[in-house]
Amino acid sequence: MASVYKSLSATNGHDEKERAERKNKQRVLILSSRGVTMRHRHLLQDLYSMMPHSRKEAKLDTKTKLYQLNELAELYNCNNVLFFEARKGKDLYAWMSKAPNGPTVKMHLQNLHTMEELNFIGNCLKGSRPVLSFDAAFEKEAHLRVIKELLTHIFGVPKTSRRVKPFVDHVMAFTIADGKIWTRVYQINESEPGKKKPTADGEEMDVDPAPKKKGGKPDLDVNLVEIGPRFVLTPIVIQESSFGGPIIYENKEFVSPNQIRSDLRRAKGSKYNRRTEAIRENKIKRGDLGLTTHGGRTKEKDPLSDSVLFA
């Protein structure tokens, strides 16, 4: 009986332990496709350095068979995939996915500035856990809720991650503006509040409408210093399963950069066409009015000219 009890209790304990472990356990596979530029690579590096729960992989060779990523993620025990797909050596698309069967979000990544080129003075511990800050607009729509959840899983560092540092010294902010998700990373900087004495401060705190926590230490002022990188994400498509499955959301407002470029080119081309057309018409008109010698047409050969007669 004792052994049975033991085993039972053990399983129970194991269950509980498992539940505790299951709380928030994320691992992210982070990789890019071939054909990324230097800046894309640096962004990847920046994100990797801030995500101790991530695993970096070599560039993926294919851009069509993305379902291979699921196997790759399984291989490395990752339940999230952050995949950067570069196209034409200039456009970057970010895929975020819950690996075995979660939804996948494809987003267009714009306005990219890496840590290196931004020269911000903020800095943070490598592997400290970020506070994730979401705009309230994320809760408004279903597809944004999916995206928020994915962002939380991918960029939020779980407590149990291996290389994690115990302090919180940076915040990652996601804001929705203009139908896009703007991302910023700030360092949390705590400083002594000015010239007030602690006792006076405590008294004042009581008077304050929102009293802060009173402790032995005086409350510190919080301010933020940006660290970088910066980027903007435009959601394009959400698929139901991981890199496949039916499409459950598609952004109507998204215009692919190719389309924009071709429109620009076409506009330029039409301008040229109009001009040439006008020139031609003008020529014809002048010819019809007899202002040019042959009306803009080649002269008919005179059958009596010397060159014909004595050819």
Q: Residue 177 and residue 254: Cα distance in Å, rounded?
A: 14
Q: Residue 294 and residue 243: Cα distance in Å, rounded?
A: 67
Cβ proximity of 84 and 40 under 8 Å: yes
Report CA 294 to chain centroid distance, whole Å. Answer: 63
Residue choice 28, 81, 124, 181 for contact with other proteins (CB under 8 A)? 124
Does position 203 interact with other proteins (CB under 8 A)? The reply is: no
Q: Residue 35 and residue 17: Cα distance in Å, rounded?
A: 44
Q: Does residue 240 come out as left (phi exceeding 0), alpha (psi in the -120 to 50 range) or beta?
A: alpha
**By CB under 8 A, which span of 4-12, 83-91, 123-131, 297-305 interacts with other proteins?**
123-131
Residues 238-257 that bind other proteins (CB under 8 A): 238, 240, 244-252, 255
Residues 71-110 that bind other proteins (CB under 8 A): 98, 102-103
Binding mask 271-310 for other proteins (x = CB under 8 A): ----------------------------------------
Residues 21-50 that bind other proteins (CB under 8 A): 23-24, 46, 49-50
Residues in binding contact with other proteins, number by CB under 8 A: 81
Residue choice 11, 123, 258, 305 for contact with other proteins (CB under 8 A)? 123
Does position 169 interact with other proteins (CB under 8 A)? The reply is: yes
Query: Which tokens go with 164?
Result: 């994690």
Q: Residue 188 and residue 172: Cα distance in Å, rounded?
A: 10
Residue choice 76, 135, 164, 283 for contact with other proteins (CB under 8 A)? 135
Q: Residue 47 and residue 219: Cα distance in Å, rounded?
A: 32
